[in-house]
Amino acid sequence: MEIEKHIKTITPAPAAVESHLSKRKNIWKKIVQQKTLILMSFPFLIWLFIFKYLPLWGWTIAFQDYRPGLPFSEQEWVGWKHFRFLFQDEAFFRVLRNTLAMSIINLVLGFVTAITLAILLNELRNGKFKRIVQTISYMPHFLSWVVAASIISYALSLENGIVNIVLQKLHVIDEPILWLGVGEYFWGIIGASEVWKNLGWNTIIYLAAIAMIDPEQYEAAEIDGASRLQRIFYITLPSLKPTIVILLIMNLGNILETGFEPQYLLGNPMNLDYSENLDIFVLKYGIAMGNFALATAAGIFKTVVSFIFLFSANYIAKRLGQARLF
Amino acid sequence: MKQIVKRWRMRYTSWGDMVFDVCNYSLMLVLCVVMLYPMLNTLAISLNDANDAIRGGIYLWPREFTLYNYEYVLKENTLLNALLISVLRTVLGTAISVFCTAMVAYVISRPEFVFRKFVTIAFILTMYFNGGLIPTYLLMRDLHLIGTFWVYIIPGIIGVFNLIVIRSFIEGLPNSLIESARIDGAGEFRIFLQIVLPLSLPVLATVSLFVAVYQWNSWFDVFLYNSSNPNLSTLQYELMKILQNTNATMSGKTAADAFANAHADANTVTPSSIRATMTIIASVPIILVYPFLQKYFIKGLTLGGVKGE
């Protein structure tokens, strides 16, 4: 008895080993138990790996003089050559300028118009009218960019375009203008098109945030004699601040993703200097001209800069004590 | 009149209040006109005689009503085939994607699942980077997906945003239902199929709308992967080609010439009327469906936004 006791006190290890073993056994047991769940998800994990992670391997192309058809081991490595070429290319800087300019215009216009519309919608007292306006304003979001571009280019056309007709009737212009033929107008056209297409859609998240505001705040303000505008500026807007910050961070992460479709579809040889953005540059060099390496380098540049933007915006928001993405 | 004034007096406490409302309602009306007019104008042109439409002056109503433009488009073999491919990719793509996304969402909503964290993070990470156009293109080439119909379906099987939306919804379902089914001896797949899927219909409606709209509206993958295979062209891509033709030549007359070369029968249709007709065909299915799902997609969007992790 005593010996047994003794052994027990000096060798507590077996218990620990056993619990470790049983933990491992437990995991195996769980895996066997949950084999259906594993079967239900692992095929898609493989899919995820192939379609989302494997392309990252393709980044190596940017450091090679890539020749299609050759096996990987026979490709010639050239280091940063393509990146150096990019940063000496005047066309690349023009493309970068266009991308950033359109991004910033879209960002500012998009935020201001969506927040304004959400607040104005919230001020509508007639529920039915409000719903109809909302439904109509969501419509363009569901149209493809091809359809949108078709409609927009017709509205801007020289002969029967509604924009020229209205502006002439209002005596803003004397002669009809070929809007898509003048490069300087292009950024504005893209900004307006984005607003037209996504204005209603972008209000959804703000309206949801407004719906969360405690109605007692408004009632108290009304009793205190606050006007409509005062209530908007001192209650609604401040309550929207966290939502605005989060969306701003997410959008800053996409600052180089101006989108590709509107620029590509509305671009033409006459506005090329202002319409060509990074994505079109990649497409032109990569697919049309077959320079895969250079196009990949430009793509990598875009992804890395986006990442830096996203993390810095998130960090700044954190430092300022604001809501943040992660 | 007196009554209206009386009602207004009762409703508004100050002049400023009333002015605000008048401005607000007028602004909303202007907004609706701006959103709707281009679409209605396109509809009117598509229903108008093509040669008559060149004269201009058509706004909301066709001047010389005809259905010939639609007849022409639907008789053209390439366009009809494109319409079929569009429908096929929308139906198949949506069904496959929604089912698979829901299945993975169910798995990662199970708190007891061993690899729950690993799988969730593996998916969410991909929201923050992508390989880019060229590596993706080369991947599709190496997988021999280029030139096939499946290049429209397989790369988009699971959308991460949709995954999060569905997961959030499933997590909100009462766990007791799932537990009692398990006690009754139902396997995980059967629980998913017979209990979770039917209960998740509202969120599945939302996600179906998102995926269907994406599939129906896509043209870039057609352009990138299948532009040399006219049998796999879609409606949006055909419309895009017409648009590019008109844009490249800009002035209406030369565009008509370019178009006449591509499509015979230039006497009765014009690029402008074909463009309008195809624009309407390409957008009508969506416009008819989305208002009915409004309640759901608003909920789905806020659900994904709030619980985006």
Closest alpha carbon within chain B to A41: B104
Q: What is the pLDDT of residue B75?
A: 86
Q: Are A292 and B138 in contact (CB under 8 A)?
A: yes
The pLDDT > 70 percentage for chain B reads: 89
Q: What average pLDDT does range B281-300 have in this prediction?
A: 88
Q: What is the pLDDT of residue A1?
A: 43
| Tokens matching residue A63 | 């450091």
Å between A55 CA and nearest CA of chain B = 5
Q: Give B251's pLDDT tier (boundaries 50, 70, 90).
A: very low
Q: What is the pLDDT of residue B12?
A: 72
Cβ of B294 and A135 within 8 Å?
yes
Helix, strand, coil percentages for chain A (3-state, nearest 5): 80, 0, 20
Which residues of A are less than 8 Å from B20 in CB distance? 123, 228-229
pLDDT at B269 over 60: yes
Which of B125, B130, B134 to substitute to test the interface with A, most A CBs within 10 Å? B134
- Which range has the top average pLDDT, A160-164, B20-24, B87-91? B87-91
Q: What average pLDDT does range A285-312 have in this prediction?
A: 86
User: Strand pairing partners for B65?
Assistant: B48
- Tell me the three state secondary structure of residue B48: strand
Report the residue count for chain B: 309
Cβ of A34 and B138 within 8 Å?
no
Q: Which domains does chain B have, with CATH numbers?
A: 73-230+287-306 (1.10.3720.10)
pLDDT at A29 over 90: no
Å between A13 CA and nearest CA of chain B = 27
Q: What is the pLDDT of residue B93?
A: 96
Å between B283 CA and nearest CA of chain A = 6
Which of A25, A37, A116, A138 to substitute to test the interface with B, most B CBs within 10 Å? A37
Partner-chain residue, chosen from B114, B135, B302, that has the shortest CB–CB distance to A208: B302
Partner-chain residue, chosen from A41, A124, A144, that has the shortest CB–CB distance to B217: A144
Least confident of A65-74, A291-300, B73-82: A65-74
| Tokens matching residue A95 | 């493309």
Q: What is the pLDDT of residue B38?
A: 92
Question: Torsions phi, psi of B100, nearest 5?
Answer: -65, -45
Q: What is the pLDDT of residue B309?
A: 34
Interface check A204 vs B, CB under 8 A: yes
Closest alpha carbon within chain B to A181: B250
| Tokens matching residue B295 | 């309640």
Å between B26 CA and nearest CA of chain A = 11
Which residues of A are less than 8 Å from B188 in CB distance? 34, 36-37, 40
Å between B32 CA and nearest CA of chain A = 6
Which residues of A are less than 8 Å from B122 in CB distance? 45, 48
Å between A225 CA and nearest CA of chain B = 10
User: Strand pairing partners for A297?
Assistant: none
pLDDT at B207 over 60: yes
Give the end-to-end CA distance of chain B in Å, rounded to a whole number.
56
DSSP A135-165: HHHHHHHHS-HHHHHHHHHHHT-TTT-HHHH
Cβ of A144 and B248 within 8 Å?
no
Between the alpha carbon of residue B290 and those of residues A139, A150, B157, the distances in Å are 8, 21, 22
Cβ of B39 and A151 within 8 Å?
yes
Q: Please indicate whether residue B272 or residue B147 has the higher confidence score (pLDDT).
A: B147
Least confident of A104-118, A234-248, B293-307: B293-307
Surface of A (232-271) touching B: CB under 8 A? 253, 260-261, 265-270
Cβ of A159 and B252 within 8 Å?
yes
Q: What is the pLDDT of residue B253?
A: 44
Q: What is the pLDDT of residue A10?
A: 47
pLDDT at A292 over 70: yes
Q: Mean of the per-residue pLDDT values for chain A?
A: 85
Q: What is the pLDDT of residue A40?
A: 92
Cβ of B139 and A228 within 8 Å?
no
Q: Please indicate whether residue A324 or residue A48 has the higher confidence score (pLDDT).
A: A48
Least confident of A317-326, B21-30, B230-239: A317-326
Cβ of A229 and B213 within 8 Å?
no
Distance CA B2, CA A97 (A): 60
Q: What is the pLDDT of residue A62?
A: 87
Tell me: the pLDDT tens digits for B66-109?
A: 888 898 888 888 888 999 999 999 999 999 999 999 999 999 99
Which residues of B are less than 8 Å from A265 in CB distance? 240, 243-244, 247
DSSP B187-226: -HHHHIIIIIHHHTHHHHHHHHHHHHHHHHH--HHHHHHS
Torsion, CA A163, CA A169, CA A170, CA A172, rounded to 10: 70
Distance CA A137, CA B154 (A): 32
Least confident of A163-177, B136-150, B248-262: B248-262
Alpha-helical runs (H) found in B110-200: 116-125, 133-142, 160-171, 175-183, 188-191, 197-199
Å between A192 CA and nearest CA of chain B = 11
Q: What average pLDDT does range A87-114 have in this prediction?
A: 92
Question: Torsions phi, psi of B223, nearest 5?
Answer: -60, -40
Q: What is the pLDDT of residue A315?
A: 83
Tell me: the pLDDT tens digits for B140-159?
A: 999 999 999 999 999 999 99
Q: Please indicate whether residue A253 or residue A64 has the higher confidence score (pLDDT).
A: A64
Q: Domain extents for chain A?
A: 14-74, 89-319
pLDDT at B280 over 90: yes
Closest alpha carbon within chain B to A132: B32
Distance CA B45, CA B281 (A): 13
Tell me: the pLDDT tens digits for B109-121?
A: 999 899 999 999 9
Cβ of A147 and B279 within 8 Å?
yes
The pLDDT > 90 percentage for chain B reads: 50
Distance CA A128, CA A130 (A): 5
Surface of A (120-179) touching B: CB under 8 A? 120-121, 123-125, 129, 132-140, 142-147, 149-155, 157-160, 162, 178
Cβ of A120 and B24 within 8 Å?
yes
Cβ of A261 and B220 within 8 Å?
yes
Select the CATH number that applies to the domain covering A89-319 from these four: 1.10.3720.10, 1.10.1660.10, 1.10.760.10, 3.40.50.300: 1.10.3720.10
Partner-chain residue, chosen from A150, A292, A300, that has the shortest CB–CB distance to B243: A150
Between the alpha carbon of residue A163 and those of residues A189, A315, B47, B262, B277, the distances in Å are 12, 43, 22, 30, 21
